Structure 1
Amino acid sequence: MSEFTDTPERAGTRQWLGLAVLLLPTVLLFLTMTVLFLATPYIAADLSPSSGQLLWINDIYGFVMAGFLVTMGTLGDRLGRRRLLLAGAVLFGIASIVAAFAPGPELLIAARAVMGLGASAVMPATLSLITTMFRDDRQRATAIGLWAASVSAGVALGPLLGGLMLASLWWGASMLIGVPVMVLVVLAVPVLIPEYRAPLAGRLDPISVALSLAALLPFVYGVKKLAESGIAAESVLTLLAGVLFAVVFVRRQLRLADPLLDVRLFANRTFSGSLGVYMLAAIALGGVYLLFTQYLQLVAAQSPLAAGLWILPAALGLVIVSTVTPALARRIRPAYLIAAGLTVSAIGYLVLTQVASEAGLPLLIVGFYILYPGIAPAMALIPGLVIGAAPAEKAGAASAVNSTASDLGVASGVALLGSVGAAIYRADMSDAEGAAAETLPGALSSAQSLPADLADSVIAAAREAFTNGLNAAALTAAVLSAAGAVLAVALLRRIPAGATSVPEIDEAKEVSAADGGAGRTTVAV
């Protein structure tokens, strides 16, 4: 049973202040994932990256963060969650400064990768520390709900703050947002938040760490190459290598007394089902969000500030729905809330499939305002379901797996759906030459040196090609979101409304036996 004590203590002022401090880096880390969306055209103009480099600038942060989350979450359980949080905050702050002043795309990509490494240490520590700070079930559910709302706020506020920065500063300023936040974390966390190490955590297995990276990184690279250039020997071989190392990783974890990741947790339908739903929702949102923000600027010709302001109402809706969802879950089964939200999102994505390159802004905004708050129930409830399905001493690893699903999902969405859009753009612009055939920013830049009539023709064709890519990506996202809704009902419907614990289902009996045979799993909703 993932309970802390038989007579849980209620949190006081210090714990709530500590929660406020933990929510700041949570907002920041997810903000960093989307803050460059509006800055992408400016980075393209300033640093002249290739189309592949432009995608890496946006998604390398999320991929590295996702790749190291499990390792960092387990390290936190063993070495101390607060200690790892502080180390990650320092690394993130230093890398942010390097990224802000990067003179070329290569250094920017490298700095964003190091930022992802720092974030991978911070993210699982924030959620797992919350589970140890709040021992009362109701307070813990509230705290996790606020954590989920902060994730929503970060994803939503990234483009808005990026737009505000671009209105008066340069794109690198958006990278400096994290520096004062991490300074505050380093100063306040040791005062407000106690250290936690899991008792009898065991030693870290370096081979498992290497295998986890060997499984994820080739797979990610293969997916990107497949999306960029189609089926080729390089992409197929790297994908197969990733799958092979994943199989070896799982087999090793099953043999170890102290695994890096207890893969038996996935036998719990609540645990694995929640993560699957989260991945599908995040993939759909990540890719469409990037294309949406680019449409605002490059097709609808909105300024960065105006684009951010267009996003603001949807962002507020996302935060509001994330905040009220835990209260609704006391009366309505979480599965139905999550499925209803993802169904609404699917409708919003379908609206985006009808957006045109000319006069398409109203329909674009309507679709986005429908789809964006729809993901909020999943963001609000799934972290609690995942953490509650794991033993307390594995909260760090469980929170890391939860964050991995979210981060890898968003980053995969940027790579996969962004590449879908890019592939359709290149196909539609196959008759164009040079940079105009690669990206819409390239076409806009090339048109500046052309005669007026020809420039207008190139720009119109490029905007139409980009919009066709957005339409296709939105249709893919609608299918993914609908699949997530079906999966939520199929796998999570047995969790009752208002439950703090639910019976173990058949698939999880092995987990229950391994963890002491309690037969029930605490679920914070």
Structure 2
Amino acid sequence: MTTTALPAPAATLRATRRDWAGLAVLMLPVLLVSIDTTVLNFALPQIARDLSPTAVQQLWLIDAYPLVLATLLVTMGTVGDRVGRRRTLLVGATGFAGVSALAAFAPTAELLLLARVALGVFGATLMPATLSLLRTMFLDRAQRRLAIAIWATAFSVGSALGPVVGGILLAHFAWGSVFLVAVPILLPLLVLGPFLIRESRDPAPGRVDPVGIALSMAALGGLAWSVKHTAVGGVDLVAVAALVLALGSGVLFVRRMRRTADPMLDVGLFAVPVFSGALAVNLLSIVALTGFLFFVTQHLQLVEGMPALDASLVLVPGVVAMVASGLLVVRVVRHVRPALAVVGGLTFSFSAYALLAVGGEGVTVPHIALAFALLGVGIGAAETISNDQILTAVPPAKAGAASAVSETAYEFGAVLGTTVLGGVLTAVYRSSLRIPAGTDEEAAAAARETLGGAAAAAERTGNPQLLEAARSAFDAGVGVTSTAGALLVAVAVVVAWTTLRRAES
């Protein structure tokens, strides 16, 4: 007589109180890593005054961290699959807290940049573990979707919250405080994590491949370098060489992963339309978010003349809208197709950029508050649904790889947000700037670099006409950059509608 195994009762799939408490602890590194992606936006004027970075160094201070994160996420995801995701998480948290304390007291722009690189390395050990641990902690589909919604909301809100946190800290402390905040945030994870989070590993992990790691870093790093160099200095041999290096390395990486018996990254995942489409929506959404924050935070402080704290409060309605949208869309998607929910949300994000593009140089603080609230609605919905679809489109055994790819798209989107939209802004600013007659050459050179440099030079030389000219040029750049942002969101809408229509609700 043969017997057939009955399916496990639904109750056995339900998460326990320990799992939900573990989720709360896991949100701490998610919030911190995403906060660190944008927290320097409000600190840039103070850093510019104290450390005198060039325009290129300013962009790299913002981008070095997410770029290193993006290039190492797949690698660290594989390491976590092999040695244990909880162990990797706790090691990364310890290193992140230590380097953050060092970054707070960096005496030069170069050392601060080096610290941002190190933070990217440790941050890469944190992020793959969080999402893949959720997949093993929450087996029930409804509970997992809610857990992922909380995770995605924390990720997106962290990026939006970065400038707010920075504004509050900078109102009372020096710029180094935006790094020191990592220590109290990570302490509960280090204390409670070993008790609340169960260890998990991939039973058949991909091998750690040094050649694959080098190729992936060359591909992503070369692409970011090419885009950044083109945006700031125009197309030249350096930009073309970096792009060729990126494309060549990418091709070699894909070929190597296809030919390896146990690849570090299963590139076959990209053949799944829902997976690839959701990944593209994820990336483009973050480009829109971080690009918006890059120029809006400078506009509020250096054009409107608002203190950091007051400027950060302008963004609070958008943060609230993002949280509400990310959680509400979990209920909405029970009744409508995921594609429709994402497209509906991104329509709000398109409206945000369109509002600023139409406003041009007449953009006011209420315009910015409303635009960020609209953007928050769209990003909250798009990030929640896209991350859920990325995980559910692949087999459970591939959760670690899928989560690492998802987070790579997120962090690389953060790089492209400041690189592409920030580069457009810099190019228009420089071409539109008209240096007033009688301005000394040193002050003029500082003004051509950045708006922050213009503000410092105007204060030093007592030349208010220089600051007014720089503000006018910057706002001309905001109008063009907002148009570019609206086009990016429109592309995300098309991608979502064409790839997610057959996704499961």
Q: TM-score category by the smaller chain?
A: over 0.9
Residue 491 (1) aligns with residue 499 (2): yes
CA separation of 1:47 and 1:391: change in aligned 2, threshold 3 A: same
Deviation, structure 1 residue 441: 1.2
1:306-351 C-alpha deviation (Å, 9 max, x unpaired): 0111111111111111111111111111111111111211111011
> 8 Å contact 1:284–1:476 — kept in the other structure?
no
Deviation, structure 1 residue 390: 1.8
> 8 Å contact 1:84–1:125 — kept in the other structure?
yes
1:380-412 C-alpha deviation (Å, 9 max, x unpaired): 111111111122222111101001111110121
Deviation, structure 1 residue 196: 0.8
Give, in whole Å, the separation in 2 of the partners of 1:288 and 1:230.
22
1:215-273 C-alpha deviation (Å, 9 max, x unpaired): 22222212211111111001101110111011000001111111111000101011001
Select between 480-489 and 383-392 the one with higher mean Cα deviation. 383-392
Out of 365, 387, 390, the position equivalent to 1:361 is 365
Partner of 2:80: 76
Deviation, structure 1 residue 8: 4.8
> 8 Å contact 1:97–1:179 — kept in the other structure?
yes
CA separation of 1:69 and 1:159: change in aligned 2, threshold 3 A: same
Partner of 1:465: 473
1:205-216 correspondence runs (5 A): 205-216=209-220
1:337-352 correspondence runs (5 A): 337-352=341-356
Deviation, structure 1 residue 431: 4.3
Residue 441 (1) aligns with residue 449 (2): no
Give, in whole Å, the separation in 2 of the partners of 1:220 and 1:139.
37
Select between 391-400 and 196-205 the one with higher mean Cα deviation. 196-205
Residue 131 (1) aligns with residue 138 (2): no
Give, in whole Å, the separation in 2 of the partners of 1:365 and 1:412.
23
Give, in whole Å, the separation in 1 of the partners of 2:458 and 2:244.
42
1:487-516 C-alpha deviation (Å, 9 max, x unpaired): 10111011243xxxxxxxxxxxxxxxxxxx
The amino acid across from 2:138 in the alignment is: F
1:39 aligned counterpart, secondary structure? helix
Partner of 1:190: 194
Give, in whole Å, the separation in 1 of the partners of 2:74 and 2:460.
50
Partner of 2:441: none
1:239-318 correspondence runs (5 A): 239-318=243-322
CA separation of 1:358 and 1:214: change in aligned 2, threshold 3 A: closer
Out of 323, 330, 333, the position equivalent to 1:326 is 330
The amino acid across from 1:438 in the alignment is: E
Deviation, structure 1 residue 205: 2.2
Deviation, structure 1 residue 359: 6.6
Q: Give structure 1 stretches of 5+ with no counterpart.
A: 498-525
Residue 237 (1) aligns with residue 248 (2): no
> 8 Å contact 1:440–1:463 — kept in the other structure?
yes
Deviation, structure 1 residue 133: 0.9
The amino acid across from 1:165 in the alignment is: L
Q: Give structure 2 stretches of 5+ with no counterpart.
A: 1-6, 437-443
Give, in whole Å, the separation in 2 of the partners of 1:4 and 1:116.
41
> 8 Å contact 2:341–2:381 — kept in the other structure?
yes
Residue 429 (1) aligns with residue 433 (2): yes
Partner of 2:157: 153
Partner of 2:45: 41
1:253-306 C-alpha deviation (Å, 9 max, x unpaired): 111111111000101011001011111221122112110111010001111110
1:305 aligned counterpart, secondary structure? helix
Give, in whole Å, the separation in 1 of the partners of 2:401 and 2:10.
23
Partner of 1:482: 490
1:14-37 C-alpha deviation (Å, 9 max, x unpaired): 111111100111111111111111
Deviation, structure 1 residue 207: 1.8
Deviation, structure 1 residue 149: 1.6
The amino acid across from 1:230 in the alignment is: G
> 8 Å contact 2:224–2:419 — kept in the other structure?
no
> 8 Å contact 2:257–2:263 — kept in the other structure?
yes
The amino acid across from 1:122 in the alignment is: L
CA separation of 1:441 and 1:412: change in aligned 2, threshold 3 A: same
Give, in whole Å, the separation in 1 of the partners of 2:377 and 2:479.
20
1:171 aligned counterpart, secondary structure? coil
Out of 218, 226, 230, the position equivalent to 1:226 is 230
| TM-score of the aligned structures, taking structure 1 as reference length | 0.91
Deviation, structure 1 residue 72: 0.8
The amino acid across from 2:502 in the alignment is: R
> 8 Å contact 2:338–2:504 — kept in the other structure?
yes
Give, in whole Å, the separation in 2 of the partners of 1:370 and 1:203.
43
1:375 aligned counterpart, secondary structure? helix
1:53-132 correspondence runs (5 A): 53-132=57-136
The amino acid across from 1:331 in the alignment is: H
The amino acid across from 1:67 in the alignment is: T
> 8 Å contact 1:285–1:477 — kept in the other structure?
no
The amino acid across from 1:423 in the alignment is: A
Percent identical:
42
Give, in whole Å, the separation in 1 of the partners of 2:96 and 2:430.
36
Deviation, structure 1 residue 117: 1.0
Give, in whole Å, the separation in 2 of the partners of 1:5 and 1:187.
34
Aligned residue-pair number: 492
1:444-492 C-alpha deviation (Å, 9 max, x unpaired): 11112445xxx23211111010011111111001000011011101110
| TM-score of the aligned structures, taking structure 2 as reference length | 0.94
Residue 26 (1) aligns with residue 26 (2): no
Q: CA RMSD in A?
A: 1.7
CA separation of 1:24 and 1:244: change in aligned 2, threshold 3 A: same
